[in-house]
Structure 1
Amino acid sequence: MKEKYRRYAFFLTILLVCAMTGAAELLQEKEIIFPEITALAVGAWAAPKQLWKTDRLRIWASITLFAVMGVLIVRCIPLPIYAQMILAFAVSSCGLLWSGTNFAPMISAMVLPVLMQTDTWIYPVSASALAAVIVLVQKRMEKIGWRSEGEFMPARLEKSDWIMLVRRVLTVAVLAAPALWLDMKFAAAPPLLVAFTSMTEPGTALRKKPAAAVMVVTACAAAGILCRYGLTGLLGLPLTVSAAAATVVMLAVMSGTGIYLPPAGAITILAMLIPADQMLFYPLQIAAGFAALVVCALVIAPEREEKYIEDAGEEGI
């Protein structure tokens, strides 16, 4: 993205969050709030260059499909939440490989309704509509010269990709068990699983800055909670105001550090959805869970031959 236009992308990101949260408050349907849309806005609008090797059709289709599948798991597969989560992660991870892309946010689209036990069709409808907004606005940005068009060629599947998928699923299965058992389910929050998946991919720049990634994600989690508690909890302002303020802080953190980490955007808005009694420990759960996932990513995924070339100029997943 051209530097002089980035402030417009930031404004559009804040506007999208306000529209989404405002609609949820107006209609009293919290399922309209789709945290991963903030991640998409960061990666497709605000970052210097799109942070995923994919195309617009795949972005919209994968978010829509896996959001529907996540709700179907909750509605139709009567398993404990732990088993549902691992199933959702495994299926969406397979979908990521079959798509020929590195667009890991599709994982969050499927796992989030399972974690939150969302069984209403409002969630996938909202996710699909918001993803459509993301790709249409991005197309317009490219047409008027705000962003340069990227090229996409589906990656070839190799045996090592399937081996890595098994490692990811086993890792998440091991780490999610104590998180759920200790009632710390947000230590396995879907955006963290997205970041974990991305950090096991070859060529991911943030593998070289794992501590910075943890700090950015934790700061965004804290920003989300502090804005919600201070503005909505103490001052009684609408949740939309809290979400907008948290998004401003999140974008400031990313711009200031030069680390455009889409899952951190989703973590920021997820703070608007969690139960009130979980707010105090939310940033701690996020920090602990992500630190564990980052360590595991570095252990299970030694450097491999790169299939994706990152040249965004700034760090990102």
Structure 2
Amino acid sequence: MLPVLLQTDSWVYPVAVFIMSLMIVSGQVWMEKQRLREKIEYIPDQTEKKKRLIKWGLLFISLLIIAALPIYASWKYCILPPLVVTYVEFATSKAGFRSRPTQTYLLLVIAATIGTLFQLAGHLYLGLPESVIACLIFFCLFTLFEWSGKLFAPAGAVALVPMIIPQQDLYWFPLQVAIGAAIFISVAMILFQQCYKWQRSQLIVCIIPESIRVHRKK
């Protein structure tokens, strides 16, 4: 989606994605062989084929509806690929972040803000190389992940997007990400997780970040 949104027609993009993907996969295999991390086993979805088709059909249709307005209004960063990934994950995955929508949302917005600020102040104003900017962004992100106790990969992707978009789009980028993330997470919570059926205690745990709950108890 990103080449379409950014209207990129250079072969540099797919070549770069291929090289980065190869590096990531190679690193994963190497770490597994060195027993630095456990091998991830693929577990096929046991849901009936008909139910899977209905779920993915609903996901596809809802995605088209959500994307219609941003495309019409030229607010294309509301439907960034990392936000679409977030939507799909909230709708289909059983990962723990599904029960932390507020925290996930804040991670995405903060990541977009970090990337924008470093690109504006560091690269465009101070003239620092993009490689330095990328290192600074990752340092802040890893610190944020460590502080929050949770890792969310799409937030890292969102933080790097400001490095490849036009300068005039940077000023509105965090706002568009905030709007898009709010819509995607809210629709996924309502449409696929049916959070309106949850008990009040479950909603409180879901909406209020753990750090705030712990602070209030103290």
TM-score (norm 1): 0.58
The 3-state SS of whatever aligns with 2:44 is coil
Residue matched to 1:247: 138
Greater share of residues in helix: 2
CA distance in 2, matches of 1:153, 1:301: 21
Residue matched to 1:295: 186
* Structure 2 counterpart of 1:137, one-letter code: G
4+ residue runs over 6 A deviation: none
CA deviations on 1:100-127 (whole Å, 9 max, x unpaired) are xxxxxxxxxxx11211122222222211
Residue matched to 2:103: 212
CA distance in 2, matches of 1:202, 1:266: 19
Residue matched to 1:165: 56
Rg comparison, structure with higher value:
2
Which aligned pairs between 1:10-25 and structure 2 lie closer than 5 A?
none
Which aligned pairs between 1:94-113 and structure 2 lie closer than 5 A?
111-113=1-3
The unaligned stretches of length 5 or more in structure 1 are 1-110, 304-317
Aligned counterpart for 1:155 among listed residues 31, 45, 51? 45
* Structure 2 counterpart of 1:142, one-letter code: E
Residue matched to 2:201: none
CA distance in 2, matches of 1:132, 1:285: 31
Aligned counterpart for 2:28 among listed residues 138, 142, 163? 138
Residue matched to 1:266: 157
CA deviations on 1:256-286 (whole Å, 9 max, x unpaired) are 1122111111101111111111111111110
CA distance in 2, matches of 1:152, 1:210: 26
RMSD: 1.5
Is the 8 Å Cα contact of residues 167 and 300 (structure 1) preserved in structure 2? no
CA distance in 2, matches of 1:202, 1:281: 30
* Offset at residue 139 of structure 1 (A): 1.3
Is the 8 Å Cα contact of residues 199 and 297 (structure 1) preserved in structure 2? yes
* Offset at residue 150 of structure 1 (A): 2.3
CA distance in 1, matches of 2:181, 2:49: 28
Residue matched to 1:175: 66
CA distance in 2, matches of 1:260, 1:137: 18
- State whether structure 2 residue 1 is matched by structure 1 residue 119: no
* Offset at residue 301 of structure 1 (A): 0.7
* Structure 2 counterpart of 1:135, one-letter code: V
TM-score (norm 2): 0.83
* Structure 1 counterpart of 2:144, one-letter code: V
CA distance in 2, matches of 1:253, 1:201: 26
CA distance in 2, matches of 1:180, 1:244: 32
* Offset at residue 183 of structure 1 (A): 2.0
* Structure 2 counterpart of 1:152, one-letter code: Y
* Structure 2 counterpart of 1:248, one-letter code: F
Residue matched to 2:116: 225
* Offset at residue 145 of structure 1 (A): 2.5
Task: Give the length in aligned residue pairs.
Answer: 193
CA distance in 2, matches of 1:117, 1:301: 32
